[in-house]
Amino acid sequence: MPLIKVDLIRGRDLEEIKQILDVAHQVVLEAFQVPEGDRYQVVTQHEPYEMIMKDTGLGFERSDDVILFTAIITQRTNKMKKDFYRLLTERLEQQCQIESKDVMITFVTNGAGEWSFRFGKAQFLTGDL
C-alpha cells in the first residue's frame, strides 16, 4: 500500500506500460519508504475523447502521452508527497521519455480502517499489519 491508479490514453505497448509501472513502484519505495512487496497498481486505458486534461490556466498544452496518477494513501508528510511528485516526473522523463507537462498526480488520503487486504478484515485495525 499505497494503491497507485494510472489512467492513460489507449495505444501504449505492454513494455511501455510495464516500464511506467516499474518507475512508479520505485518512486513509491523511495518517497514513502514502504516494503518492496507493497505493490498495488491498476492501469485503466481510455480512448482519447475519454481523458480531458487541461492546463488549469498554467499556459501549457498536454500531448496524447498524458498520464494521471492517483495515489490512494494513508497520511504522508508534505515532504514525502513533494518527493513523490518530483521523483515520478523526473524518472518518467528520463526512463520513459514522458514529459513532465504530461504527468498529473493527485493523492487521496484515507485511514487505516479503510483497507482490507483479504478475508473481509481490516488488517491494520486487527493488528495483522
Catalytic residues: 2
Distance CA 39, CA 122 (A): 18
- Please enumerate in sequence order all residues whose Cβ is within 8 A of that of 65, keeping only pairs 6 or more positions apart, or say none: 9, 98, 99, 102
